[in-house]
């Protein structure tokens, strides 16, 4: 029992690191938190490198308690709850990390040294929480993870027991994103998480995902981007024939099916097709007559264009989580060579973000009690999605119309490449502050 209490104290101290401005265990001894727990940094390093700790189970156990507090709020019941799947880069500088390799960065458009992290989050339009994640590598064509024979030999290695909880994470390292995404959603459903849509970008729009989402007994649908490019090979069955997205766009344009949405100031076309033996609805959208078309796919054939656009905007909540967690909580910046420590560090960051998100929601987004609900309604802070929708929409539309760009590309630049557009981000921050 004494040992268990000690482990709980170490775990609680690690969760409190951000509150005491402690970046890592090395700085623990010089912090005021050290007065509450009489131990040295090695205690934390050993705890985080323990392969027997089931971090996934621990994170889910605490997340379920946090999410249950949100579900009882009346505001939560009015919103559309969605699962969001996306990945992010974990760049590293050293080559001695366990399982380190090179991965392709979609942000930098080149190969980088590090890991790829796949995340599953849940949002109700006001708060978002990280539910699950996996750290991945990319074998590459040669199967050497982009590393030389000497670099592979110099990587940190340690004998592992297949019975340890860490073994599941090691097996995920070389698994496909699609299979991991399906496993994550299955776990979320098994834990009792209720949601209406699964949101993802174009990389995840494949037959396996569509079939999986539609096969669930609970009422849920998929909503995500699709690849349009002229060389697009994915085919959709429409009026007894198979068409690629570019060919379908050409056919719909010829039939004058293009409409204009004044609220979003964009052109769009709608087509109900069959994909993966499932009836789906495609939305094709572009900002101006000369701009390139972009596409959305959903298994909800009752969804209209405006609703689909607004719901899909929630996907960017996870991008904001990445940005905030990396900048404020050090997501992906753990320098421990041990792979178990990398898993522990990400798990702790996820819990820290979720706890702070809950505190922020109750402190700023919502009122306490029905008595002041009507009075305070207009004075509440805007939610994350409302911020994106309200604050950025005019700016997005202006830039898109001016340069003929897609909304998706502009959001990516503003969130992931702020160094290239500091003046725009400064405006965004000022808007949020106001």
Q: Could you write out the DSSP letters of every residue in 150-218?
A: HHHHHS------TTSTHHHHHHHTTS-HHHHHHHHHHHHHHTT---SEEEE-GGG-SHHHHHHHHT-SS
Q: In this predicted structure, what is the pLDDT of residue 169?
A: 97
Q: What percent of the chain has pLDDT over 90?
A: 58
Q: In this predicted structure, what is the pLDDT of residue 318?
A: 92
Instruction: Write phi, then psi, for 101 (nearest 5 degrees).
Output: -165, -175
pLDDT of residue 427 exceeding 90, the answer is no
Q: What percent of the chain has pLDDT over 70?
A: 80
Instruction: Tell me the pLDDT band of 407, cut-offs 50, 70 and 90.
Output: low
Instruction: Write phi, then psi, for 283 (nearest 5 degrees).
Output: -115, 125
Q: Using CA atoms, how far apart are residues 399 and 378, in angstroms rounded to an integer?
A: 29
Q: Using CA atoms, how far apart are residues 413 and 107, in angstroms rounded to an integer?
A: 9
Instruction: Tell me the pLDDT band of 416, cut-offs 50, 70 and 90.
Output: low
Q: Give the pLDDT mean for 335-349.
A: 96
Q: Using CA atoms, how far apart are residues 98 and 414, in angstroms rounded to an integer?
A: 33
Retrieve residue 242's tokens: 């198979």
Residue entry with tokens 């699962």: 83
Q: Using CA atoms, how far apart are residues 160 and 162, in angstroms rounded to an integer?
A: 6
Q: In this predicted structure, what is the pLDDT of residue 1?
A: 40
Instruction: Tell me the pLDDT band of 237, cut-offs 50, 70 and 90.
Output: very high
**Which pTM was predicted?**
0.84
Long-range pairs for 61-65: beta carbons < 8 A, 24 or more residues apart? 62/351, 62/354, 63/129, 63/130, 63/131, 63/351, 63/354, 64/191, 64/192
Distance of CA 335 to the CA centre of its chain: 22
Return the higher-pLDDT residue of 42 and 224: 224
Residue of 18, 11, 3 whose CA lies nearest to 47: 11
What average pLDDT does the structure give for the chain? Answer: 84
The CATH number of domain 52-360, selected from 3.30.70.1230, 3.10.25.10, 3.90.700.10, 3.90.350.10: 3.90.350.10
Backbone torsion region of residue 266, taken as left when φ is above 0, otherwise alpha when ψ lies between -120 and 50, otherwise beta? beta
Q: Using CA atoms, how far apart are residues 182 and 256, in angstroms rounded to an integer?
A: 38
Q: In this predicted structure, what is the pLDDT of residue 29?
A: 79
Q: In this predicted structure, what is the pLDDT of residue 188?
A: 96
Most confident of 355-359, 363-367, 429-433: 355-359
CA dihedral 142, 144, 147, 151 (to 10 degrees): -140
Q: In this predicted structure, what is the pLDDT of residue 371?
A: 34
Q: In this predicted structure, what is the pLDDT of residue 354?
A: 93
Q: Give the pLDDT mean for 210-222.
A: 89
Strands 197-200 and 82-91: parallel
What are the C-alpha distances in Å from 293 to residues 32, 136, 168, 205? 56, 32, 41, 17
Q: Using CA atoms, how far apart are residues 205 and 278, in angstroms rounded to an integer?
A: 13
pLDDT of residue 342 exceeding 90, the answer is yes
Q: Using CA atoms, how far apart are residues 123 and 127, in angstroms rounded to an integer?
A: 6
Full DSSP string of 219-274: --EEEEEE---TT---EEEETTEEEEHHHHHHHHHHTT--EEETTTTEEEEEEEEE
Retrieve residue 127's tokens: 């708060």
Instruction: Tell me the pLDDT band of 21, cut-offs 50, 70 and 90.
Output: confident
* Beta carbons within 8 Å of 141's beta carbon, 6+ residues apart: none
pLDDT of residue 35 exceeding 90, the answer is no
Return the higher-pLDDT residue of 364 and 393: 364
HSE-up (13 A, CA, CB side) for residue 28: 21
pLDDT of residue 414 exceeding 70, the answer is no
Instruction: Tell me the pLDDT band of 378, cut-offs 50, 70 and 90.
Output: very low
Distance of CA 398 to the CA centre of its chain: 27
Instruction: Tell me the pLDDT band of 366, cut-offs 50, 70 and 90.
Output: very low
């Amino acid at each position: 029992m004494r040992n268990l209490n000690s482990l709980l104290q170490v775990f609680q101290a690690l969760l409190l690191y951000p509150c005491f401005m402690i970046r890592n265990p090395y700085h623990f001894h010089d912090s005021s938190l050290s007065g509450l727990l009489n131990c040295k940094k090695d205690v934390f390093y050993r705890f985080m490198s323990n392969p027997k700790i089931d971090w996934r189970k621990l994170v889910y156990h605490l997340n379920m308690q946090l999410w249950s507090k949100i579900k009882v709020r009346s505001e939560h019941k009015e919103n559309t709850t969605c699962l969001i799947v996306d990945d992010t880069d974990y760049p590293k500088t050293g080559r001695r990390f366990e399982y380190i390799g090179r991965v392709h960065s979609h942000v930098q458009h080149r190969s980088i040294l590090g890991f790829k992290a796949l995340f599953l989050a849940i949002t109700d339009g006001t708060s978002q929480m990280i539910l699950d994640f996996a750290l991945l590598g990319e074998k590459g064509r040669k199967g050497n993870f982009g590393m030389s024979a000497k670099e592979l030999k110099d990587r940190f290695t340690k004998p592992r027991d297949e019975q340890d909880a860490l073994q599941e994470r090691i097996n995920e390292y070389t698994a496909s994103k699609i299979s991991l995404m399906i496993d994550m959603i299955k776990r979320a459903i098994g834990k009792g998480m209720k949601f209406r849509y699964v949101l993802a970008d174009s990389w995840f729009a494949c037959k396996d995902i569509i079939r999986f989402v539609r096969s669930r007994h609970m009422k849920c649908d998929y909503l995500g981007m699709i690849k349009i490019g002229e060389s697009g090979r994915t085919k959709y069955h429409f009026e007894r024939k198979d068409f690629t997205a570019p060919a379908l766009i050409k056919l719909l344009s010829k039939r004058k099916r293009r409409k204009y949405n004044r609220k979003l100031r964009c052109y769009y076309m709608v087509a109900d097709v069959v994909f993966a033996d499932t009836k789906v609805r495609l939305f094709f959208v572009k900002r101006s007559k000369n701009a390139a078309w972009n596409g959305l796919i959903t298994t909800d054939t009752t969804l209209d264009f405006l609703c689909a656009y607004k719901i899909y905007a929630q996907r960017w909540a996870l991008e904001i989580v990445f940005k905030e967690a990396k900048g404020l909580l050090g997501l992906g910046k753990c320098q421990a060579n041990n792979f178990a420590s990398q898993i522990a560090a990400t798990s702790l960051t996820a819990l820290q973000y979720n706890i702070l998100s809950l505190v922020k929601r109750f402190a700023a987004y919502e009122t306490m009690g029905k008595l002041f609900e009507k009075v305070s309604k207009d004075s509440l802070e805007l939610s994350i999605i409302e911020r994106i929708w309200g604050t950025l929409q005019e700016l997005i539309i202006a830039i898109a119309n001016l340069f003929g760009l897609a909304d998706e590309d502009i959001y990516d630049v503003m969130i992931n490449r702020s160094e290239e557009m500091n003046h725009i981000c400064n405006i965004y921050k000022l808007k949020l502050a106001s």
